[in-house]
Structure 1
Amino acid sequence: MRKIVSSLLFVLFIGLSAFAQNEVLFNKATEAYNKGNYSTALEHYETILDNGKHSAELYFNMGNCYYKLDEIGLSIYYYEKAKLLNPKDQEIQNNLAYAENMRLDAIEAMPKTAMARFRDSTLSLFTYDNWALFAVLLSISFVILYILYYRSTYATQKRIFFIGAMVAIFLSVATVTLAYFSYDAFKKDNPAIVLKREIVVNTEPNTQSERVFSLHEGTKVNILEKLNGWFKVKIADGQTGWVQSNTIKLLKDF
């Protein structure tokens, strides 16, 4: 028993020490940033990442540093990572928009139908984990309401519990469906940012194939396939092609 307690105390001590170290590094980075030492600030932020700690605030600050250093691709990359962790933060969205205005590529997104916009807005209300949790809670509610319906003796109570049980099972099926589509959308969404000044997009995963178009630093793509050091990517206007994997950087590499 003493060994278990000692081990728990040791783990707790290590965790608190790491937290304190990261706090010191974060404060040093903020001080360096305020003095205009953006490269020094980035070194401190990178150390925090190496310690296994990441957050929207950390990525946002790294994006600010790279923006000040005129590294537009990396600034967009870290703003996008911050947005993934905190998609509703207005400051992140504003700074990302400023950085995106510095890109060379102006790609117009494919228009969506009203149904597609409604589906996307509905799915984005919660994560697939949240939708699945709602489905479980509604299923439990259905069971409880059905038991109450079965045990009730008065017609009015039975009617209320029966209607409630039917509503709960209907909503449970609906949220299961939303959880499925939300998870499917999450798997298909594999974004990356172009980090090279300019890259060539080919029709096939080799340098001898036809070049279809080019992309520039900071442009966002979605990865469709991976093959032998190449990625098949899709851009906002629907065009697809193959790029070498070392020319772009994945966003969901947490």
Structure 2
Amino acid sequence: MKQILFLILISMSMTCFGQDLQNIDSIQVIDSIHSDSSIANDVVIGKAKGDSAYIKEEYATAIQIYENLLKNGEAAELYYNLGNSYYKIGEIAKAVLNYERALLLQPGNNDIRANLEVARAKTIDKVEPIPEIFFVLWTKSLINSMSVDAWAIWGIISFLLLIIALYFFIFSKQIIWKKAGFIVGIIFLIITICTNVFASEQKKHLVNRNEAIVLSPSVTIRSTPSESGTSLFILHEGRKVSIKDNSMKEWKEIRLEDGKVGWVPASAIEVI
């Protein structure tokens, strides 16, 4: 009877994990290039050409090559190199945009984060974010320490270890192994739940894409989605904003880190 219940538990759990993996696979265009071998080879060759142009300080050529490669699929390294190229020619807003896109795919990459901070330092607008309690900041930092794929892998590993712990707890005849299986099982159950929650949060950011970068040299933020709306404040290129209302085509309602809100022409921003 125990064996049957154990097998049922494993079967149900694997079904749930299979659904989760399908959900993750549905966004695998992100942080990957098409799996077709011929395209992959073209990407490798193209990237080498782009890197060569960058080394030769032919930044315009490198930008064109990286932009074309990204049409085949998204990759953090390409966005990172593209951001470096834009930074070198002084287009700070586009550098910030591509660093942000790279960081979205690899949130734990310190090189991307460092270059992003350098580029941000050259922007005009300085916004003080609303303070958050330390626990929220710590949780966000933990979630952003790895990508959705990395959290998913850790989730699978911890789940398999949970199954092993349950096996010892259910079938072992020695009390010490039962206790060890129970304690270890509880630990890996918590880890499994946390990793799946973190992966879900990362996936939400990848799918929703509700943040953008101001690309216009300067743009007036209005109180209503119209040029006749009251002028609230001005933003300059490179400023990161959150899209609060995306229902209109020509206008977007945005929110800054300090809580300010307003409407901006859609043409003035580009989604990360």
Scaled to the shorter chain, the TM-score interval is: 0.7 to 0.9
Q: Does 1:117 align with 2:137?
A: yes
1:169-204 C-alpha deviation (Å, 9 max, x unpaired): 454455555555665666676221111011111122
Distance 1:174 1:53 in 2: 29
Give the direction of change, closer, same or farther, for the CA distance of 1:190–1:107 in structure 2 (3 Å limit). Answer: same
TM-score (norm 2): 0.72
Give SS of 1:106's match.
Answer: coil
1:241 aligns to what?
A: 262
TM-score (norm 1): 0.76
Give the direction of change, closer, same or farther, for the CA distance of 1:33–1:186 in structure 2 (3 Å limit). Answer: closer
Structure whose alpha-carbon radius of gyration is higher: 1
Give SS of 1:192's match.
Answer: strand
Counterpart AA for 1:66: Y
Counterpart AA for 1:31: S
Tell me which of 45, 59, 63 is aligned to 1:24: 45
Q: Once the two structures are aligned, what percentage of the paired residues are identical?
A: 29
Asked if structure 1 preserves the Cα contact closer than 8 Å seen for 2:79 and 2:98, the reply is yes
Structure 1: gaps (5+ residues): 1-13
Asked if structure 2 preserves the Cα contact closer than 8 Å seen for 1:192 and 1:249, the reply is yes
2:233 aligns to what?
A: 213
Q: Does 1:81 align with 2:113?
A: no
Structure 2: gaps (5+ residues): 1-34
Distance 1:135 1:28 in 2: 38
Distance 1:161 1:122 in 2: 27
Distance 1:225 1:110 in 2: 20
1:185-224 C-alpha deviation (Å, 9 max, x unpaired): 6667622111101111112222222221111011111112
Per-residue deviation, 1:78: 1.4
Counterpart AA for 1:41: A
Give the direction of change, closer, same or farther, for the CA distance of 1:54–1:166 in structure 2 (3 Å limit). Answer: closer
Deviates more, 1:64-73 or 1:185-194: 185-194
Give SS of 2:45's match.
Answer: helix
Per-residue deviation, 1:167: 4.0
1:9 aligns to what?
A: none
When the two chains are superposed, the root-mean-square deviation of aligned CA atoms in Å is 3.1
1:6 aligns to what?
A: none
Give SS of 1:218's match.
Answer: coil
Give the direction of change, closer, same or farther, for the CA distance of 1:46–1:124 in structure 2 (3 Å limit). Answer: closer
